[in-house]
Amino acid sequence: MRGFGAGALGRVVRSGVGRRRVQTVVIAVATMMAVAAAVVAGSLMVAAEAPFDRAFGQQRGAHLTAEFDPAEADTAGIEGTARLDGVTATAGPYPSARIHVVDAEGRRTPELLLVGRSGPRADVDDLDLTEGRWATKPGEIVLGTSFIGPAFELGSTLRISEAADGPALTLVGFATSVSETAEAWVTPAQVRALASKDTPLASQMLYRFDPAPSKSEIGEHREALAAALPSDALLGTQSYLDTKRAADQGAAPTIPFLIAFGVLGIVMSVIIVASVISGAVGVGLRRIGILKAIGFTPRQVVRAYVAQALIPAGAGIALGVVLGNLLAVPLLADTEQAYGTASLSVAWWVDVVVVAGALLVVGIAALVPALRAGRLRTVEAIAVGRAPRTGRGRWAHRAAGRLPLPRAVTYGLAAPFAHPVRALAMLLAVAFGTVAATFAVGLTASLNAVGTAQDPEDRAAVTAFTGMPSPHGGPPPAGDRSEIPAVDPAQARAAIEAQAGTASSYGKTQEEATVAGVSGSVRAGLYQGDFRVGGYEMISGHWLTGPGQVVVPSRFLETTGAEVGDTVKVTLHKDTRALRIVGEAFDTSDDTLEIHADLTDFPAIQPRVYLIEVDDGVDPAQYAQKLAAALRPLGGDAMANSPSERDNFALILQSMAALLTLMLVCVAGLGVLNSVVLDTRERVHDLGVCKALGMSPRQTVGLVLASVAGIGVLGALLGVPAGFALHGYVLPVMGHAAGTDLPPSVLDVYDVPQLVLLGLAGILIALLGALLPASWAARSRTATALRTE
């Protein structure tokens, strides 16, 4: 058989690839999309693994951030702390100050930590500049990425005070600090220029230790810093462990979501690639018989057909890796914002694993039918390759023939039973695509419900402050501000009620309290006035309706073992009250254990803030300016809540779900397209006979579409319940990762008409996948079809 050496094999392979151009293109495109989906899914699953630790290492994050009083410790003394035991790297000292920023619409942010740095690069806290550029001269400012939104756009002007002649800064960039060492950055000279009696200057120093310190070791390093400088020099510190805990908790809910889509994408990719390749080899059995008849050995036949599958699949794999990396970029950018981390990219080994896995799947999928073909006798291979196995699916044709439908439709409905394995692959593709669509629709609706049920304090249009110091304001500010007067809450309430445009308002304060059965302190949110609009979404029970009641989050019930209806003792400022648990609140604010009670139970405490809703048509920014003008002489203040400061976590997940679902639906459609192309090519002779007997092009299209309609219906019947069940499983897991159960409004988001439409979407996936080959079959001439094998 020397005549059939490598040269003959090469010609056979090239001929097979070139002759079946449509099939070759379908193999390449389907494999490309499947591999791209696998790359994206794998990248997101990797990104969900310890995102904070990865970003912290890339940015050389600060294990300890310290603020010093420059009046008590000079620069040389602060720099000398770099030589303390365990310190491996430092950055600073940087001048810092705490400021308020007013956007172009007059909205005033909470107090921000402003740090002066000459550039984003540093040995510690190497910032990631995500948009724009760094502030290189006075009058420019860079904000943290949490401020990205309509209120803060590159090039906009921000003012440090609401006065018309107040200092103005141009927003030139956004940066991410995984250590959260600051919310805004300017040049060092700019910080010093902004310093005043009300905005005292401080010095910030950043430290790294080796190995990474534990909580107790952080305390020891803090004590060493305090001992190395004058007693009043150290103003405050921030541990990376606090930042890590908050970041991990913020990332935790996304992990089940990414794993669900990742598994869907990878499983569907394997199914599509395997069905595409095995179908392509299986449809060439008759040609295999002809090759055997002219002298090819079984081994040569196997090699030839495996190579014919690998060539277009290999091109699709290469293109799929490139496409997957491109598609992963925006999704990973969304993931960075969701996690509050930086510099996420596709890991190189993900590409390697996906390529190796795809080649393995292609090789096995091609080898199995090729080995079967190689073992067939020549005559048998020619006979089997001409048509489906004799007798297969006849019962289906007889049963379909009894239906009161046109013959072309019944013929198409029975066609899949001639190739049960191929029909099963098509069914799985449609089912998985329907699962992805159903899950994505439910996830989007649930995230919208979560946004509606978010912390009521964030929903308020305007927040008024009494000026009283809060124990939950973060690291202590530099300087002594005890001389700032606090407005009498009664005066603040009167000013709010007198302000035109006020729809409703209620007072709130937060205090550290102790609760019997809970170790350590808990945060007590106390309410005064008409606080029904400030109620949380309830998982069980009801919101506060009067004194003697307490509403708790899910974490409280899990920690204490209590249930709704039980009584707990709450002690606040040595005042103890027995309060009955009347409800379980959906509270996603942070990782701090918080309870909610009526301020009437603790009359010695006064509200620190008032949450205000304004009348329809009233601009919150203008309302806040007028109210602030009335409160500031009394020692209070007011600001409109900026939409850019609200959590964009739900929007990020929605965009990720939309892109991932679109990819998976495209992969499913391509799987259907491939199967129908193979089936149409295989049955082209039968179609020619049908056309010769009078079948019109419209009937031909109906026949081909009917061949996938039944699979579409069955795929929808399987996919919609599976997607519904996946949503019901993943959402509670996401909630538990965030430390809370979910209320019915978040879980029960499907209705019957919506589920019916999702079922129709599954059928639509099948029909759209079959539309192209159906059109080709309708356009083919009868004589050409009769000659084609």
pLDDT at 141: 94
111-125, 169-183, 392-406, 504-518: the lowest-pLDDT one: 392-406
Band the pLDDT of 329: cuts 50, 70, 90.
confident
pLDDT at residue 643 in the model: 52
Higher-confidence residue: 376 or 745? 745
DSSP string for 336-374: HHHHT-------HHHHHHHHHHHHHHHHHHHHHHHHHHH
Of 187-196, 263-272, 683-692, give the lowest mean pLDDT range. Answer: 683-692
pLDDT band for position 589 (cuts 50, 70, 90) = low
pLDDT at 618: 85
Q: What's residue 428's pLDDT?
A: 81
Whole-prediction pTM: 0.65
pLDDT digits (tens, 9 = 90+) for 651-663: 666 676 777 777 7
| Mean pLDDT of the residues in the chain | 78
Map tokens 């070791």 to a residue. Answer: 217
The tokens describing 678, both together, are 């193979």
- What is the predicted pLDDT for the residue at 303? 80
Structure confidence at residue 173 as a pLDDT band (50, 70, 90): very high
Which whole number is the average pLDDT over 336-349?
Answer: 62
**What pLDDT does 404 receive?**
76
- Higher per-residue pLDDT: 472 or 680: 680
Note the pLDDT of residue 119: 92
Give residue 646's pLDDT: 40
pLDDT band at 314 (very low <50, low <70, confident <90, very high): confident
Separation between Cα atoms, residue 785 and residue 789, nearest integer Å = 8
629 against 283, higher pLDDT = 629
pLDDT at 273: 67
Which region among 469-483, 519-533, 567-581, 651-665 has the lowest average model confidence (pLDDT)?
A: 469-483
E strands, 151-233, in order: 157-159, 168-176, 184-186, 202-209
> Which contacts (CB < 8 Å, 24+ apart) does range 163-167 have?
166/102, 167/193, 167/194
Residue 495: CB partners within 8 Å, gap ≥ 6?
A: 627, 630, 631, 634, 636
Mean pLDDT is lowest, of 25-29, 380-384, 554-558, 613-617, for 380-384
Q: Is the dihedral of CA 556, 562, 566, 572 positive or negative?
A: negative
> What is the pLDDT at residue 522?
84
pLDDT computed for residue 347 by the predictor:
75
Confidence band, pLDDT 50/70/90 cuts, at residue 89: very high
Q: How far apart are CA 652 and CA 661, in angstroms?
A: 14
Summarize pLDDT for 19-70 with one digit per residue, the tens.
666 667 777 877 787 788 778 777 777 766 666 777 788 888 899 999 999 9
Question: In the Cβ-directed half-sphere of 543, how many Cα atoms lie within 13 Å?
Answer: 15
Each residue's pLDDT tens digit, 356-373: 888 888 888 778 777 776
- State yes or no: pLDDT of 756 exceeds 80: yes
Q: Of the given ranges (252-256, 314-318, 413-417, 611-615), which has the lowest mean pLDDT?
A: 252-256
The predicted structure's pLDDT at residue 738? 67
Residue 115, pLDDT above cutoff 90:
yes
Give the Å distances, CA to CA, from 650 to 43, 130, 250, 450, 758. 20, 20, 12, 8, 22
**pLDDT mean over 412-424:** 75
Q: What average pLDDT does the segment 629-641 reach? A: 82
Structure tokens at 339: 């996690």
Average the pLDDT over each of 327-336, 341-350, 480-489 and give the range with the smallest value: 480-489
The mean pLDDT of 749-768, rounded to a whole number, is: 85
Structure tokens at 700: 């031909």
pLDDT value at residue 283: 64
The whole-number average pLDDT for the span 375-384 is 65
